[in-house]
Structure 1
Amino acid sequence: MDTVQPGATPLSEEDAHRQLRRAVIASTIGTTIEWYDFFLYSTVTGLVFAKLYFPESDPLVGTLQAFLIYAVGFIARPVGAAIFGHYGDRIGRKATLIVTLLLMGLATFAVAFVPTYATIGIWGAVLLTILRFIQGVGVGGEWGGSVLMSMEWARTNAHRGFVASWPQFGVPAGLFIANLAVLAMSQLSGSAFLTWGWRVPFFLSIVLVAIGLYIRLNILETPIFARLLAERKIEKAPTLEVIRRQPKDILLSALSRMAEQAPFYIFTAFVFTYGVRTLGASRDLLLTAVLAASLLEFVTIPLFGHVSDLIGRKRMYMIGAAMAGLFGFVYFAMVDTKNPTWIFAAIVLSLVPHSMMYGPQAALIAETFTGRLRYSGASLGYQLASVIAGGPAPLIATALFAYYHSGYAIAAYVFVCAVISLVAASRLGDYTNRDISREYDEARTMGDHGHAHAR
């Protein structure tokens, strides 16, 4: 792959390697901050928001209302994907990533100052909803850019799965820091945590944003986008163009995430409601278990990203989807014992099938789209899953449990999600170890790529 910036001399091998390292670090730290912000909201939703912003409601209804605000962030993610996908393919990966970081960080910081129901009534919940929507728009634009920033600096085709898995590392890292912050604050005595302690982690997010901004300002644009710019192959409306050319790939990318996303939010967000109210487990046990699970993913996400380079992206992903479908039943069998050791083990192990999919997923989805439409296509495919999987998952889990009074009903839902993902992933293309630096409709004959047209 040529490593040239527009109007610049080619980078030396050493400089290109340094840029790759910088891009991977910038993407990973950036996504860690973004997901810290997003998960902080998730964790606090189950523990605090129902009590502070819906105190008049029945506890179950209050929880459903709080999770509805939580779901708004997921609905906003495809909106962010469409907006920032457009700019990511028009003005570049770097500039777009700086904007998404600021948007997400400032919205999270503002949550720290939202007055409760006792102070301004229902307007507190309205403000939370608006800030959650802004958060979702930021995250919607973040993922695609972070993955491309790493993947498009990869020096060879043979390690793309591993390189692209590092922005995915931001998920367990963000989850870890968010839960650690809440766990630290929940040690406060009496009602201090409910009164003001929960606000502190939101307030501290501004420090992380400053660090992320400094790092992102010091990276170069990716070689693939630089070439597109130099060769004047920028699309006027990349989001519309990718919907026109690759609608099936966008839909399959979204459906392939059902087995990864829905169980993840059930096992890491809904578990706080289910664990405390139904199982009588302590909040600290659940927070510590999610912390341990996140630590495990520090290793397993890059590991399975690497394995996907060896055995193929799709194969690795489908093994993970099958495991996730079966593990739902094991998970509820373990937590329903109400034994703290089994509950802890179930939460930790629940993220292994997740890693099997999440490690190779970035490359699997991003490689599906041609370079000039990649930010838009990958972002839309990835974030649409938030509307059909991640957002509704805690709501569906809460409703299923309310109706059936059994965790196995939720496990059956996870199983259905896994079957959908297996079918969708089997229909996706596999670009493991293939060249993605040239436009797909230039690199092969017209009929070879169903949606490719000669330009």
Structure 2
Amino acid sequence: MATTDATISLTPEAHARELRRAVIAATVGTTIEWYDFLLYSTMAGLVFAKLFFPNEDPLTGTLSAFGIYFVGFIARPIGAFIFGHYGDRVGRKSTLIFTLVLMGVSTFLVAILPGYDSIGIWGAVILTVLRLVQGIGVGGEWGGSVLLTMEWARYNNERGFLTSWPQFGGPAGLFLANLAVLAFSQMSGDAFYAWGWRVPFALSLVLVAIGLWIRLRILETPVFRKLVVEQKIERAPIVEVLRKQPGAIIAGMFARTSEQAPFYIFTAFIFFYGTKTLHVSRDLLLTGVLCAVVVSAITIPLSGHLSDRIGRKRMYILGAAAMGVFGFIYFGLIDTGNPVLIFVAMVLSLIPHDMQYGPQAALIAESFTPRLRYSGASISYQLASITAGGPAPLIATWLFARYESSTPIAIYILITAIVSIVATTFLKDYTGRDISAEYDHAPADAEPAVRAAAGGR
């Protein structure tokens, strides 16, 4: 069934063109924002402990660096509340432009931040503030990017695939961040620790300029324009979504547990574990993550597409179950110390993640009625940064320090999978349904939706 638009008169060709622009704008923008945000996670394990906490032992310094890293995750729900409000009040496009600029400026300032040797503990204090601003920016980015693609969709059975592209911005940003670190870490002597680490942060301004140029050229989504024409804009969307759809917020938050926690164990904690415990080369770990992201370029959109065919919930639960098993396989390979097996484990590590991440955007965003969608989807998504994503490297580091074994970490990953599977059963499945009309209390039965999606357009 085609998605109708009563507010903008566009030919099918023009609508397809705007959809392409929206997908590109969302994907490029999220790639840049996640580059900025995830660059810290790589540097935390490699540089920041030494730069900002030189008087601590390596383990304590790493915990301190990951503590500041966690601040960014605490800030993400704050960004979701702030920009969710404006995204539902003034529009998706203008909100996304502001989040991009905010993220770019805060990341650039990290590039010129003096270390402990220059300003003492104030370096860590300022880094914490900048990480807070980063978190606020990325907290408002995801919801808008997903809605930008989802609300421009021409057909109801393509939203899983379309929204998987801004999802790919996360791994793509990780790819660029690790590529930049890998390139500049080849500098001779102590040049990388002296100033080379700053260059990837400074490059953020160039990337933001590109993203800003792309986003300024897109139109507001048809769904939001329809809300404006029909005068359905809420004065306090945050209050309304908390009052009318709290169950969807909570279920979406916990559904993300087995996607969030393992991702940051596989892409952040591994740099500490690999270099300090297994004594493998930094380049091997960086290359492994880069290759894993290349695989994600296939598995994320494929998983999103499959969710359009078999249903969001079914696809998501399969991914969570796979993650629960994979934690043991991953550390079993890593702990051999064999560079080849370590590389294989890292390349495969994001596949069970992608099985969830591909359909996740549509699964969560579709759960919220249009006039509250930016707020509800953003809050639900970003709260998981506190409950799952941010604490994961800290928990993994503590578990290893306590038990001197990776097995408790694998058990932790299994527990996250169980939490996600249970939470996902409480989400409604809107696969193949019209999402332009208000449905605050509309029932959503998964099976008819899947059958509708499997039919024609």
Residue 92 (structure 1) aligns with: 91
Compute the displacement of 1:444 (Å). Answer: 7.2
Could you state the TM-score of these two structures normalised by the residue count of structure 2?
A: 0.96
Distance apart, 1:39 and its partner CA: 1.0
Which of 2, 5, 24 is matched with 2:4 structurally? Answer: 2
Matching residue of 1:124: 123
Residue 3 of structure 1: CA displacement?
A: 2.9
Corresponding position of 1:36: 35
**Matching residue of 1:450:** none
**Amino acid corresponding to residue 296 of structure 2 in structure 1:** E
Q: Partners of 2:5 and 2:30 in 1: how far apart? A: 25
2:53 aligns to what? Answer: 54
Residue 430 of structure 1 aligns to a residue whose secondary structure is coil
Q: Which residue of 2 aligns with 1:67?
A: 66
Report the CA distance between 1:426 and its aligned residue: 1.0
Give the Cα–Cα distance (whole angstroms) in 1 for the partners of residues 352 and 440 of structure 2. Answer: 35
What is the aligned partner in structure 1 of residue 148 from structure 2? 149
- Gaps of at least 5 residues in structure 1 are 446-455
- The aligned counterpart of 1:339 is 338
Q: Which residue of 2 aligns with 1:263?
A: 262
Instruction: Summarize the Cα distance change of 1:252–1:194 in structure 2 as closer, same or farther, 3 Å threshold.
Output: same
Residue 240 of structure 1: how far off its partner (Å): 1.1
- 1:3 alignment partner AA: D
- Distance in structure 2 (CA, Å) of the matches to 1:187 and 1:216: 34
For each residue in 1:329-353, what CA deviation from the matched residue of structure 2 results, as whole angstroms up to 9, or x when unmatched? 1111000000000101111111000
Q: How far apart are the structure 2 equivalents of 1:438 and 1:20?
A: 20
Structure 1 residues 443 and 428: alpha-carbon distance in aligned structure 2, compared to 1, 3 A threshold: closer
Q: Is the 8 A contact 1:368 1:430 kept in 2?
A: yes
**1:193 partner letter:** F
- The sequence identity of aligned pairs, in percent, is 67
Query: Residues 367-390 of structure 1: CA distance to partner in whole angstroms, max 9, x if unpaired?
Result: 000000000000000000000100
Deviation readout 1:184-220 (Å, 9 max, x if unpaired)? 0000001000000000000111000000000000000
Q: CA separation in 2, counterparts of 1:252 and 1:115?
A: 42
Counterpart secondary structure, 2:157: helix
d(CA) in 1 for partners of 2:74 and 2:12? 42
Amino acid at match of 1:144: G
| 3-state secondary structure, aligned to 2:362 | helix
Q: Distance in 2 between matches of 1:158 and 1:136?
A: 33
Q: Does the 8 Å contact 1:4/1:226 carry over to 2?
A: no
- 1:23 maps to a residue whose letter is A
Shift, 1:2, TM fit: 3.1
Counterpart position of 1:452: none
Deviations 1:69-123 (A, max 9, x none): 0000000000000000000000000000000000011100110011000000000
> Structure 1: how far apart are the matches of 2:60 and 2:148?
42
Whether the 8 Å contact between 1:4 and 1:11 is mirrored in structure 2 is no
Please give the per-residue CA displacement for 1:228-256, whole angstroms capped at 9, x wherever unaligned. Answer: 00000000010111011111110110000
Partner of 1:107: 106
AA at the equivalent of 1:234: I
TM-score, reference length from structure 1 = 0.96
Quote the Cα distance in structure 2 between the aligned partners of 1:229 and 1:92. 9
* 2:454 alignment counterpart: none
Structure 2 Cα separation of the partners of residues 129 and 348 of structure 1? 32
Task: Tell me the CA shift for residue 442 of structure 1.
Answer: 8.6
Secondary structure class of the residue paired with 1:102: helix
1:153-302 → structure 2 map (5 Å cutoff): 153-302=152-301
Name the CA distance, whole Å, in 1 between partners of 2:134 and 2:242.
Answer: 24
2:373 is matched with 374
1:378-421 deviations in whole A, cap 9, x for unaligned? 00000000001000000000000000000011001111111000
Provide the secondary structure at the position in 2 that maps to 1:114: coil
Q: Which piece of structure 1 moves more, 169-178 or 140-149? A: 169-178
- Residues 1:439 and 2:441 aligned together: no
Distance (Å, rounded) in 2 between the aligned partners of 1:39 and 1:134: 14
> Any conservation in 2 of the 1:101–1:213 contact (CA below 8 Å)?
yes
- Whole-Å Cα distance in 2 between the matches of residues 109 and 441 of structure 1? 41
Q: Deviations over 1:307-362 (max 9, x none)?
A: 00000000000000000011001111000000000101111111000000000000
Question: What amino acid maps onto 1:128 in structure 2?
Answer: L
| Aligned position for 1:365 | 364
Q: Distance in 2 between matches of 1:4 and 1:392?
A: 45
How many pairs are equivalent? 442
Q: Given residue 367 of structure 1, which amino acid in structure 2 is its aligned partner?
A: E
Q: Distance in 2 between matches of 1:439 and 1:249?
A: 15
Counterpart for residue 448 of structure 1: none
2:139 counterpart letter in structure 1: G
- Within a 5 Å distance, the mapping from 1:335-414 to structure 2 comes to 335-414=334-413
Paired with 1:357 and 1:195, the residues of 2 have a C-alpha distance of 39
* Superposition pairs of residues 320-331 of structure 1, within 5 angstroms: 320-331=319-330
Q: Is the 8 A contact 2:368 2:440 kept in 1?
A: no
Secondary structure in structure 2 of the residue aligned to 1:363: helix
CA separation in 2, counterparts of 1:31 and 1:278? 33
CA root-mean-square deviation: 1.1
